A and B are shown apart, each in its own frame.
Chain A
Amino acid sequence: MYSSNNHAKNARIFCQDEGRVDWHSKALWNLRAKRDKAAASIPEWEALRQAGSQIKLHTLSNLSHYLQMFEKQCVANGIHVHWAKDASEHNKIALDILAKHQVKKLVKSKSMLTEECHLNPFLEQHGIEVIDTDLGERIIQLNNQPPSHIVVPAIHMKKEEVGDLFHEKLHTPKGESDPTRLTRAARQHLRDQFLSADAAMTGVNMAVASEGAVVVCTNEGNADMGVNLPALQLHSMGIDKIVPDHDSAIVLLRMLARNAIGQPITTYSSFYRGSKINGEMHIIIVDNGRTEIMKDKILAESLKCIRCGGCLNTCPVYRRSGGFSYNYTIPGPIGIAVGAQHDDSNTIPWACTLCGSCTYVCPTKVPLDKIIAHHRRLKAQAGKLPFGKKHYMPLVGKLMSSPTMLNCAMSSARVALKIIPHSIIKPFSGAWGQYRELPVSPKSSFDTWYKQHTAAKKEAK
């Protein structure tokens, strides 16, 4: 489903409809504004971020210890624990459990990990009906699309489009686009699915090592509706979801919803520490490239992420290029950080202005801009710079490291900008100039100004 096109090409498809881009950008910025308000209402917010970062670093640096503690506690609570080194092993484990219980219908609540593992098509191939139950996830599932955002997966769709889709699939009245009425229709439709499901599966927001408990957060209540009806419950988690104890889970929980959508906490934050009576609870712990990421000191910090989506909402590139332009399940800054190694187009690390806004809002202080810049270096070291950059970047490097050459080039550029009509030079600015005006030529270079300025200062003394 993800074509390995270069990011600019993918973004161009999204940008064809300028009105939609503005609407998309504004909807996400609205979330950022709500986040700012929620963060400002907590005087100790910065201290919380610091604590969140420390907790995650501490846990990651002792991950083997905490994973084993978690496993031991889970087993003591009667929970079945499975380990999967990659996506295909994860999918196989899930299928085996479901097959053993003759599951025909599985209700799922949001899990980026199962998206990463492409679990749904795998289970469907084996005759299991998979129903995504988060409203946004259900919309895109009915629309045959992957999520375009990790928290609001159908952010790219307008209500009229959802209305048309529901008319076709759920038989709502034609032309109905009122969000409340569409949500009610989905509630009824999914209620039937919950009541007829044989098993439920969820992702995990935090796994508490000291308790052997998993924490699942939703606003809609879909995870809990799913998990608490059928006897069988499955939870998939990346190895990076571990936190040492309740105290540390609480630190992250205080920030998660505030940083995601400006809410003080998700409506439901459930702690599952064992199955229901006569039930069965399984947890699948998944690596799928995470231990590989941990081998690189800079990339490793991306595993501090708690998937709040705050960095997507603030990113000037994501907001204007859409979630389908990143060649990876997870888009935006965090998607680049954890997904650039899979990107065959070798362009995704450049879908970033390095403005650092993502790092600024991150609740666990993941240094996203630093990680993205590092990915560019890794691509260059692997000889995988995208076509143009491979040829001109070394030249630019040489030019910029020689003051004489740089001064000479800059002064000719200033002269050119002054005397040649812009319509003639503009084609030479390439993609850069496509949506921009050429700059006004300054009178002199900064170097000249600086020298004159310091000389004048000395004289004055």
Chain B
Amino acid sequence: MSSREQILQALAQSSIDIEMPQADLSAFKSPATDTNTLLARFGESVTTVAGNLVDATGEQAIIIEQHINDLMANNNQVLSLVEGVSGNQQMPDSPHELQHIDYAILPAKFGVAENGAVWINTQMLNRHDTQAHRALPFICENLIIVLDKQNIIATMHQAPELMSLANDDFGVFISGPSKTADIEQALVVGAHGACTLTIYLV
């Protein structure tokens, strides 16, 4: 008998044979909140997780371009997957070559007000027919996210219907820059992933 069958057979004899009702999660699903409240909460959360939120809505949109141009003028390697924002680097053949990227600019599908997280999946990474390496959001020295302010949800419970993982093979919630507190509980921002995270709201 294979290990698979042995395990499944052992489970058939297990003592927990009470059919528990599947938890009713509908109560968590509908916190009605207006856009401004959501934006304010999202902003607080991003600050809590050591991220940086910049308003680039409407006439402010120009500041993204200004920022990126400044970065490139200072000899930074910038790779952008956001439409209308151009960097100075192309997607390389191997993910290992991404190690020199100073700034990656990526679109996020939605943001979550309660924890400042943004959702990036294969669909967002592969926007321009180029197959982006999954390593990009992690290996870049600094991460810049562009997020539509209409796409902010209140809590994680609204996320599953937007995650659309069904057509994707990979997705990640990113909340702030990488961090660790493994040495004497002292918070250090910049562990293995990006050292800074800036979110531009458009």
Do B178 and A271 have beta carbons less than 8 Å apart? no
Contacts of B194 in A (CB 8 A): 221
Contacts of B157 in A (CB 8 A): 247, 250-251, 254
- A131-147 near B? 1/0 per residue, CB < 8 Å: 00111100100000000
Contacts of B92 in A (CB 8 A): none
Q: Please, how many angstroms separate the alpha-carbon atoms of A273 and B183 in the complex?
A: 33
Do A183 and B190 have beta carbons less than 8 Å apart? yes
Q: Does B17 sit at the interface, judged by CB under 8 A?
A: yes
How many residues of A are counted as interface, with CB atoms below 8 angstroms from the partner's CB atoms? 95
Do B117 and A291 have beta carbons less than 8 Å apart? no
Do B21 and A54 have beta carbons less than 8 Å apart? yes
Q: Which residue of A lies closest to B134 (CB)?
A: A228
Do B138 and A195 have beta carbons less than 8 Å apart? no
Q: At the interface, is chain A mostly helix, strand, loop or mixed? A: helix
How many residues of B are counted as interface, with CB atoms below 8 angstroms from the partner's CB atoms? 75
Q: How far is the CB of A391 from chain B (nearest CB, A)?
A: 33
Q: Which of B137-178 contact A (CB under 8 A)?
A: 137-139, 155-157, 159-160, 163, 165-166, 168-178
Q: Does B109 sit at the interface, judged by CB under 8 A?
A: no
Q: How far is the CB of A249 from chain B (nearest CB, A)?
A: 8
Q: Which of A370-408 contact B (CB under 8 A)?
A: none
Contacts of A222 in B (CB 8 A): 191-192
Which of A13-21, A55-63, A339-347, A441-449 faces chain B? A55-63
Do A221 and B21 have beta carbons less than 8 Å apart? no
Contacts of B8 in A (CB 8 A): 64, 67-68
Asked, given contacts A220-B191, A220-B193, A228-B134, whether A267 binds B165 with beta carbons under 8 Å apart, the answer is no
Q: Which residue of B lies closest to A89 (CB)?
A: B3
Contacts of A411 in B (CB 8 A): none
Do B23 and A58 have beta carbons less than 8 Å apart? yes
Do A30 and B185 have beta carbons less than 8 Å apart? yes
Q: How far is the CB of B150 from chain A (nearest CB, A)?
A: 21
- A271-292 near B? 1/0 per residue, CB < 8 Å: 1111111000000010100011
State the A residues within 8 Å of B (CB). Answer: 27, 30-31, 42, 44, 47-48, 50-52, 54-55, 57-58, 60-64, 67-68, 77, 83-85, 89, 133-136, 139, 152-155, 157-159, 162, 179-180, 182-184, 187, 190-191, 194-195, 211, 213, 219-222, 224-225, 227-229, 239, 244-248, 250-251, 253-254, 261, 263-277, 285, 287, 291-292, 294-297, 300
State the B residues within 8 Å of A (CB). Answer: 2-4, 6-8, 10-25, 27-28, 45, 48-49, 95-96, 99, 112, 114-117, 131, 133-135, 137-139, 155-157, 159-160, 163, 165-166, 168-186, 188, 190-194
